[in-house]
Amino acid sequence: MNCAEFVELVTDFLDGVMGEPTELRCLVHLARCEGCETYLDQFRQTVAAAGARSGPSLPASARAQLLRTFRILPRG
């Protein structure tokens, strides 16, 4: 496996969806390639940073309106 191949497999590698032979080849490659080890690490950090993104929120007026609708809904 070379580096150009490895960088395209990183998501599969992280998801654990690759077959054992491919996974093993990735691990062997990683063990001796510092560049790809760094690439993998940065990929992980990128995913973590995306997950830490703070969310927008619904405007208070819309939230209040929805709560009111929920409250007055006739229930059988």
Partner 1 sequence: MAGPRELPTDEVLVQRLRSGDEETFALVLDSWSGGMLRLAMSFVSTRDSAEEAVQDTWLAVIRGIDGFEGRASLKTWVYRILVNTAKARGTKESRTVPFASLLPQEEEGPTVDAERFRAPGERYAGHWVAGQEPRPWDIPEDHVLRGEVREVIAAAIDELPPRLRTVITLRDVAGYGSDEVCALLEISPGNQRVLLHRGRALLRRKLEAYLSGAHDVASGRGHA
Residues that bind partner 1 (CB under 8 A): 2-5, 7-8, 10-12, 15, 17, 33-36, 38-39, 41-43, 45-59, 62-63, 65-67, 69-71, 73, 75
Calculate the alpha carbon distances from 36 to 30, 39, 68, 70 in Å.
Answer: 6, 5, 54, 52
Q: Shortest gap between Cβ of 24 and partner 1 (angstroms)?
A: 19
Of 7 and 24, the one with the shorter C-beta distance to partner 1 is 7
Q: Which of 44, 38, 39 is nearest to 14 (CA)?
A: 44
Of 3 and 24, the one with the shorter C-beta distance to partner 1 is 3
